[in-house]
Structure 1
Amino acid sequence: MTVTGPDEEAADRRSLHERIAADLRDEIMSGDLAPGASLPSTVHLKERFNASNATVQKALHLLKEEKLVIGRAGAAVTVRDHRQRTVRPASYMTPAPSGEPYRWLTETAKNGSRARISLLEVAEAEPPADVAEALRLPASGTALLRRQLLLVDDEPVELVASYYPLAIARGTPMTERRKIPGGTPTLLAELGYPPRLSIDRVSARIPTQDQYQELRLPGSLPVLRTLRVVYSDDERPIEASVMVKAGHLYELQYEFTAE
């Protein structure tokens, strides 16, 4: 029997180029390497990580695939300007005023980006178990599914699968394969179900095959999966959405006030 010591158990088993990319990625996402800044030279990185030129180039190639840096062989590698986006969930909860676009579109535009939504699917479907539980559905119960792909500057950034109780959705524009002016929060409020409380459960996961393809992900980096449940009056669940975004391109910002 082989006995593994505590040092071996704690060892980083990733290849060296993956470890180099991880350290540089952290410095980019934390702002130590700011947008537009040049990465340390290859000579410096070789010395810092005790690595060969080929290993350093493999690490930089990973960061280029992730769209965190830009550059070519023999030239300086710099941090891309759109390295990370901050998501403020509280900004999207309030229904948009009549005639105005969905709040995600307007909030994204404030950062100077072009945002659009592609509606992928509208159907009655059996939701994942955590969604069914959140909506208080019976066993094998179904809900209305509206699945969308959110794009910023024509790049896919988030997959959103929103589920609605059929007692609320049937007979409304939600069942139609078309966009809803102001988004579903506005329509739900007009139907007498104003959002009163929104609860997010966020986890980091390895992307599924569909998520990998639809979000055009560069590798096996984690995605952020958010299960958002929206409640109306009397704590009635009116919407449960599964939102998936690339973890290396986003951070979530939650704002709280003391009572």
Structure 2
Amino acid sequence: MTTTNTEVTTIKKDISVQVLEKIDSFQQSGELTLPKDYKVENALKSAYIILADPKNNLLKKCTTESVAEALLKMVIYGVSPIKKQCYFIPYGDKLDCSISYAGNISIAKRYGGLQWIKGNAIFKGDEFAFEVDQKTGRRKLINHLQTLESIGSADIIGAYAVYELTDGSMDMEVMNITQIKTSWNQGGSKGGSPAHKNFPDQMAIKTVLNRACKLLISSSDDSVLYDPLEEEKIDVQKSDVNQEIEKNANKESISFDNVEEAVVVEEEPKVELPKETPKRAF
């Protein structure tokens, strides 16, 4: 069935009314304060460009309620689909907004006190050493020497992320390859996607970046974003881009009166609708 421009415009208008009314309600009650650098209208416009893409036409294929929920989550978390801070993933006729690793970094900067963060892969043959401060328990990079021969090889033994907080303090997250692969196995492709096979160093870096942001995000004192949500479901270790969506993924719809927690996907999704709506797993 072909969707006309008039139909698309009507759908956009109806959804926008729902989302903007809900956001206005949150703001009026003092439950939500949007970041100064985040423009709701711009975020919605960029989202509609993606959702109205004729190749997938998610505005037509997904329920209005689920699209409104996905857009509401996008706005509340202050992320942008154009910047690949989130992805819209269809599960049958239900749409979900999944926060990417870039989105989690953005959220950590806004609410978790993150100043900057930098990740690197550790290859076999590298000289790498770090220490743990006996008083604070924080890690500190002591030495990391690489060679041209080691950089970019398939022999990755780990990855780390060094970051500084707005108070000037620094910390470090380290993961060995076993931990990284365990994280990859939580995703739909089990670490077997083309991105993992062709760019394992980049995928490893993104995984450790997400892990580094996890505590900063979940320990944020921003009650709007995190107190109403179930923190344990904000699993940033599963995050990265380029995910192959499982056709039989289980997804449960929620009421538009609630805000669903951010679920991070492991790779950038290939937007593809299953042939039939999956049944809920118990």
> TM-score scaled to structure 2, two decimals?
0.22
Question: Which structure carries more helix by proportion?
Answer: 2
Task: Mark the structure with the bigger radius of gyration.
Answer: 1
Question: Which structure carries more strand by proportion?
Answer: 1
